[in-house]
Amino acid sequence: MTIHSDMRTAKRILLPVLLLLLFPILFSGCGKETEEEANHVVMSLGKRITSLDPALAADTTSQAVIGAFYDMPLQYRYRAGEYQLEPGLLARLPEISEDGMTYTCEVRRGLKFQSGPPFRGKPEEARSVTARDVVFSLLRLADTRLRSPGYWVIRGKIRGLDAFRRATEQAAEGDFSPYDQPCEGFTILDDHHFQIHLNTPNPRFHYFLALPYCAVVSREAVRYYGDDFARHPSGSGPFLLEKWEQDYVMEMVRNPEFRRETCPDAEDPDLRERPLPLADRITCYLVKQPVSSWLMFLQGELDYFAVDADHFESVVNRENKLSPALTKRGITLIQAPELETSYIGFNFADPRLAGNLNLRRAITLAFDRNLRILHSAGRFIPAYGPVPPGTPGYLTKEETAWPEKDLQKARKFMKEAGYPEGIDPATGRPLELTFDQAGSDTACRQTAELLSEDLRQIGIHLKPEFSTRPRFFQKLSQGSMQLFRLSWTGDYPDAENFLQLFYGPNAGSCNRVSYQDETFDVMYRKILSMPQSAERDRQYKEMAEYLTKQCPWIFEAHTVSFVLTHQWLKNYVPHALAFARWKYLSADSQTRRETRKGFRPLEMKELR
C-alpha cells in the first residue's frame, strides 16, 4: 500500500508541473466566446461519445448528450434529491387505465424537429412532432436490424413486439414497411394522442419513458441519413449541433424553436421565469486525462469539474471541505449520493460457492468495509444491501445481517463450511479462490490487495486476475470466475431495478452472479405488479434483508459524487437521472472573463 501511495503522490505532483508548462499551448483556444454570446457554458465530457442515435447510445456519456438534442416523453424534475417525473415531450403525465394495461398519452402541440436536409423541399408541417413519431421511436428499439442495446426497455412489456420483430427480420435494410403495419401494442388516436398497451400491469413503465433510449426521433431524418444518422442529431430538443470533432470538441447552440418551458426550481430567482434553454451556447471538450481537466478548471477554462479519485485528496480534506485557496477563488463544492451500488459478486456458476452458504458468509464477515470507506476519504458510503439511499428498500447498518467485519464468526463459518482454518481437505492446503476485475490500474491492484489481506485472515489464498473489459465479461459469461467486482447504476429510482439483479431468469444478463433462489424469485414476481404503496416498500425491504442473509454479493459501497463549480456557473443541480440537464445550465460569460483576469497560478501546497 505504501509503494502505491508514494507513486500516486509523485504522479500527482510531477504531472501537473509538466502540464502547466504545456497548458497555454494545449488549450489556448478553449473558453473563448464572442461578445454576443452572453451565456456560454464550457465543460469537458471526459469520455468519447460513441453514438447520437438514442436507440444505440448505450454508454453514459452518449446517453447524457442525447438530452441536449432530443426530447424524451417524460423527464425528471430538476431538483436536488428528488426523482419526480414530469411531462417532457408529452403535454401531461400518461393516463393509466384501471387495470394498469393501457397508457394514454398526449403529445405537446407546436413541437418541431429541427430544420435541415431531411426536410428540404417538404412542407413545414413535415417537421411537426406527432404521436406517430413517438410510436416510431419506441418501435425502433425492437427493430432486429438495429440491434438496439435499449430493447430491454420494452422487451416483454408491450404487446405485439414479437410480430413486429419478425417483420423486421424479413425486411431489407432501409425498408420501413414494418413500421406501417399495425402493432397490437400501439393505437394512434390522432396526431397528438396515442395509447400504449402492455402485456401485464407494470407500475414502473412510466420510468422507461424518461430514458434516453426513448427519445423521440424523426422518421424522415432516420431515412435520410441512414447509417450516418448517429452523427446527425435531428430532434426537437433544446440545442442544435453546430460542430462535432469526435475526439476533440462538440459545439451546440440554442434551438430557437424549442418549446416554451421554464425552471421554477432554479436557485437564482432571476432564472426561474427565463425560457429554456438558459445558455446560448455549450462547448464540450473531450479531455481524456482528468489532470488536464483539473488544470483547465483551475484556470477557469472549464465551468465545472467532476472530482476523480486521483485528485480527490488534492481538492477535498478529511472533513470533505475545500481548501481556502479554492474557496477564495469562488469555487463551490457540490456533493450528492449517486444511484449506484458497488459489490463483490460470488459466481453461482461455481458449485463451490453456489452450494456453500457458510463459505459465502465467512468471506462476507472477513470483508473490512470500514477500511475501504476510510481509504475512499468520503467518496463512498457503506452499502448494507443492494438498494442505494433515497430509495425504498435501502437498509441501514442496523437492518443488515452482517454489518461489519467479525473474524470470530467468519472462522466459525469457515469450519462449518468444511474448511477449518481455511484448509481445503481435498488438498491439505489453504483454500484458493480467484478474484477478477475489469482493469489493471493502481486502484484495481489496491482493491485486490485489500481483499487478499481480508481473506488471508481466515486462511483463504486469493489469486487476483486482471483483465480488459471485453475479456472480463467474456470470462463472466463463460462462468469461469469465482469472485469478481462490479457496480450497478440505477436506470430508474425504484428498488426493483436493483432487486432484478438477483432474479433467477435474469441470470446471464443483469443477474451477473447467476443467483438462483426460488424463495427470492417468488417474492420478486409478487412485487412486479404491485403499485407504489407502503406495502410494496415493506416488501422491498424484506427482500433486501433476505439477500443479506443469503450473501450472493459482498455489499461494498454507494458512490458519492463531488463536483466543483465556478461562481459564474448557475443552476448546476446534482441529479443522477438529469438527462435533460443541458437546458438548465447557465454561465455568465462576462463574469467569467472579469474573474479570470484576477486568477494566478496556485501552488500545490495551497490545495491541501
The tens digit of pLDDT for each residue in 557-606 reads: 999 988 999 999 999 999 989 999 999 999 999 999 999 988 887 776 66
Cell numbers 427482500 correspond to 543
Q: What is the per-residue pLDDT across 265-316, written as a single tens digit (0 to 9) for each?
A: 998 999 999 999 999 999 999 988 888 898 899 999 999 998 877 677 777 7
Q: Which pLDDT does position 136 carry in this prediction?
A: 98
Intervals of CATH 3.40.190.10 along the chain? 60-243
Domain with CATH 3.10.105.10 in the chain: 339-560
For domain 60-243, give the fold. D-Maltodextrin-Binding Protein; domain 2 (3.40.190)
Across 114-129, average pLDDT: 95
| Burial (CB count within 10 angstroms: exposed 0-12, middle 13-18, buried 19+), residue 34 | exposed
Residues 6+ apart with CB under 8 A from 535: none
**37-63 mean pLDDT:** 91
Whether the predicted pLDDT of 531 surpasses 80: yes
- pLDDT tens track for 433-453: 999 999 998 889 999 999 999
Mean pLDDT of the chain: 91
The region of weakest confidence among 22-36, 131-145, 329-343, 588-602 is 22-36
Q: What pLDDT shows up at residue 21?
A: 41
Residue 59 vs residue 361, higher pLDDT: 361
Rounded to an integer, the average pLDDT of 44-49 is 88
Please give the pLDDT value at position 607. 66
Which pLDDT score is estimated for 604? Answer: 67
| Total count of residues recorded for the chain | 608
Nearest to 567 by CA among 268, 334, 332: 332
Q: What is the mean pLDDT of residues 507-520?
A: 95
Q: Could you tell me the sign of the dihedral formed by the alpha carbons of 442, 446, 449, 451, in that order? A: negative
Q: What is the predicted pLDDT for the residue at 195? A: 98
Residue 442 pLDDT: 87
pLDDT recorded at residue 168: 98
> With pLDDT > 90 as the criterion, what percentage of the chain qualifies?
79
Distance of CA 108 to the CA centre of its chain: 28
Contact (CB, 8 A) for 541 and 395 = yes
- Which of 146-155, 307-316, 341-350, 527-536 shows the lowest per-residue confidence on average (mean pLDDT)? 307-316
Give the model's confidence band at 608: pLDDT under 50 very low, under 70 low, under 90 confident, else very high: low
The residue-averaged pLDDT of 167-194 equals 97
Mean pLDDT of 104-121: 96
Mean pLDDT of 41-55: 93
Instruction: Check if the beta carbon of residue 342 is closer than 8 Å to that of residue 487.
Output: yes
pLDDT digits (tens, 9 = 90+) for 471-494: 999 999 998 999 999 999 999 999
Q: Which helix (H) or strand (E) holds 345?
A: strand 332-346
CB atoms within 10 A of CB 413: 24
In whole angstroms, give the CA distance from residue 383 to residue 399. 11
Q: Which residues contact 342 (CB under 8 A, 6 or more apart)?
A: 380, 383, 485, 486, 487, 556, 557, 558, 559
HSE-up (13 A, CA, CB side) for residue 133: 31
Give residues with Cβ within 8 angstroms of 550, minimum separation 6.
357, 360, 517, 520
The per-residue pLDDT for 15 is 44
Q: What is the 3-state secondary structure (H, E, C) of 210-242?
A: CCHHHCCCCHHHHHHHHHHHHHCCCCCCCEEEE
Q: Which CATH number fits domain 339-560: 3.10.105.10, 3.40.50.2000, 1.10.540.10, 1.10.287.10?
A: 3.10.105.10
Q: 25-34, 121-130, 266-275: which has the minimum mean pLDDT?
A: 25-34
Q: Indicate the pairing of strand 432-438 with strand 483-489.
A: parallel
Q: For the residues of 97-109, what is the DSSP string, one character each?
A: -TTS-EEEEEBPT
pLDDT tens digit sequence for 349-366: 999 999 999 999 999 999
**Rounded Cα–Cα distance for residues 33 and 324 (Å):** 30
Q: Cell 416554451: give the residue.
A: 260
